[in-house]
Each structure stands twice: as structure tokens, then as C-alpha cells.
Amino acid sequence: MSWTLTSGATTKTLAEWGISGLTRRRSSQALDVVQFVLDGVAYDSDEPFASESEVVITKDATIWFRGRVVAVRREASGRAERIIYE
């Protein structure tokens, strides 16, 4: 099973992006919501996926999700830093 994410003209596997915790919430008659985490990314680093940018996630070359980044949340503790995307 091969998962990739495309942002702009760049396509990489989820592992190459450093993505973990990929989830999709589906609702009847509403938009799907996908959330994922970039672990180990510095709290103050540039965002690889800017707000309002489009991302396309594919599974085995079939589009699994297409949408815009609507929320970017940064978290940091003494042990870890990460960015959470929705």
C-alpha cells in the first residue's frame, strides 16, 4: 500500500514528508475532515503546507482526499515539537 501527499508540484510519500497520525472524519452531507501530524518539526520552522493551500492524498494512485489546509496548530514541550494540520 503506497500513500502519497501532493502539495503544489511536490509529491512525496507520507514517510518522506514526516507525516503520522493520518485520520479522516466523514460526515453525511458535510465536508470530510483530514488531520495529520508532522512530528519533529521545529516549532518556529516554515510550514511545508501553508494555510489555504491545496493538498491531495492518494492511496495506491487513487485519490483518497483532496482539500485545503484550514487549520495549522503548533505544539511544543520540553521533549518534542510538532505541527498539526487539518
pLDDT in tens, 22-44: 999 998 999 999 999 998 888 88
19 bridge partner residues: 38
pLDDT at residue number 44? 84
* CA-based nearest residue to 33, from 81, 80, 66: 66
pLDDT at residue number 29? 92
Cα(27)–Cα(77) distance, integer angstroms: 33
CB contact at 8 A, 68 and 52: yes
Which segments in the chain show pLDDT lower than 70? Answer: none
pLDDT at residue number 41? 83
Cβ atoms within 10 Å of 79's Cβ, excluding its own:
5
pLDDT at residue number 40? 82
